[in-house]
C-alpha cells in the first residue's frame, strides 16, 4: 500500500484496497496463516474497524541512548530477542501516550520499527494478546506517522502453529484503539 494521502476519500479508498488485498492473500495464498480447511469459500475476510483518521497520528521518536537487547515473551513460550530502539510519544484525543519501538538484533541500518501493543479493546473487540504496527523509519527521523488503521493481529491469532511476540507491559495503552483489525471469530 502506498502512503495514504491527506485527502480523506483517497485515504479510505487506499485503506480499503489494502484490506481487500490482504483478505485475498489470507484466502488463497499458501503462506496464509488461516488453516487450510477454513480457506476457499469458508473464509469471508477479516473483521476491521471503519477507517478513522483520528487514529493516524504523528509521534515523536526518541531513540534510547542505550539500546538494550530484551527478550519478549511469545505465544509458544519461545523467547524472541528484540532491541528496544526508542520511545514514541503521541496524542490521541486528549490522551498523551507512549510506546516502545523495537528492531531486530541483527539489523545494522534501521528501516522499520516493530511496535507490539495492547489497549482497552484487547481481549474484547481485538485479539487478546495484542496487535502490531510496523513503521518505516529513516536515519535521524524525529517523527513518524503511527496509523492505527493498519494495526494488525499476529499470525498466531489465526493459527496456533505460529510463534508471535507478546507486547510487553510497557506497551499497554490505557485507551481503546478502535482502529485496524478486530478479533477473528470465524474459527
Q: Tell whether the model's pLDDT for residue 106 goes beyond 90.
A: no
Instruction: Specify whether the CB–CB gap between 151 and 64 falls below 8 A.
Output: no
User: Could you tell me the pLDDT band of residue 2, with boundaries at 50, 70 and 90?
Assistant: very low
Mean pLDDT of 98-116: 91
Given CA atoms 33, 43, 183, 112 in this order, what sign does their dihedral have? positive
Question: Which pLDDT does position 145 carry in this prediction?
Answer: 96
pLDDT tens track for 34-81: 888 777 667 788 999 999 999 999 999 999 998 899 999 999 999 999
User: Could you tell me the pLDDT band of residue 6, with boundaries at 50, 70 and 90?
Assistant: low
User: Could you tell me the pLDDT band of residue 134, with boundaries at 50, 70 and 90?
Assistant: very high
Selection from 67, 128, 142 nearest residue 102 by Cα? 67
Selection from 93, 145, 81 nearest residue 119 by Cα? 93
The C-alpha angle with vertex 179 and arms to 88 and 29, in degrees rounded to 5, equals: 100
Question: Which pLDDT does position 186 carry in this prediction?
Answer: 61
Strands (E), the chain: 56-63, 69-72, 80-92, 95-103, 112-117, 131-136, 143-147
User: Could you tell me the pLDDT band of residue 187, with boundaries at 50, 70 and 90?
Assistant: very low
Map residue 134 onto helix, strand or coil: strand
**What are the Cα distances from residue 117, in Å, to 6, 53, 89, 121, 158?**
25, 19, 14, 11, 18
Question: Which pLDDT does position 53 carry in this prediction?
Answer: 93
Q: Tell whether the model's pLDDT for residue 4 goes beyond 50.
A: no
Q: Tell whether the model's pLDDT for residue 124 goes beyond 90.
A: yes
Map residue 11 onto helix, strand or coil: helix
In angstroms, the CA 179 to CA 7 distance is 18
User: CB-side exposure of 47: number of CA atoms within 13 Å?
Assistant: 12
In angstroms, the CA 157 to CA 53 distance is 25
Q: Tell whether the model's pLDDT for residue 5 goes beyond 70.
A: no
* pTM recorded for the entire structure: 0.90
Q: Tell whether the model's pLDDT for residue 1 goes beyond 70.
A: no
Mean pLDDT of 79-94: 96
In angstroms, the CA 144 to CA 174 distance is 21
In angstroms, the CA 53 to CA 11 distance is 9
Amino acid at each position: 500500500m502506498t502512503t495514504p494521502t491527506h485527502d480523506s476519500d483517497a485515504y479510505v479508498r487506499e485503506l480499503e484496497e489494502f484490506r481487500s488485498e490482504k483478505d485475498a492473500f489470507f484466502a488463497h495464498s499458501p503462506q496464509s496463516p488461516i488453516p487450510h480447511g477454513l480457506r476457499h469459500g469458508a473464509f469471508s475476510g477479516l473483521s476491521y474497524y471503519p477507517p478513522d483518521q483520528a487514529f493516524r497520528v504523528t509521534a515523536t521518536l526518541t531513540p534510547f541512548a542505550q539500546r538494550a537487547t530484551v527478550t519478549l515473551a511469545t505465544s509458544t513460550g519461545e523467547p524472541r530477542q528484540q532491541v528496544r530502539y526508542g520511545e514514541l510519544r503521541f496524542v490521541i484525543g486528549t490522551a498523551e501516550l507512549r510506546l516502545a519501538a523495537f528492531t531486530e538484533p541483527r539489523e545494522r541500518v534501521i528501516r522499520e520499527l516493530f511496535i507490539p501493543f495492547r489497549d482497552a479493546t484487547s481481549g474484547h473487540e481485538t485479539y487478546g494478546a495484542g496487535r502490531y504496527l510496523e513503521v518505516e523509519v529513516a536515519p535521524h527521523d524525529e517523527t513518524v506517522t503511527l496509523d492505527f488503521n493498519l494495526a494488525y493481529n499476529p499470525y498466531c491469532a489465526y493459527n496456533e502453529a505460529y510463534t508471535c511476540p507478546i507486547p510487553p507491559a510497557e506497551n499497554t495503552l490505557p485507551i481503546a484503539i478502535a482502529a485496524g483489525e478486530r478479533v477473528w471469530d470465524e474459527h
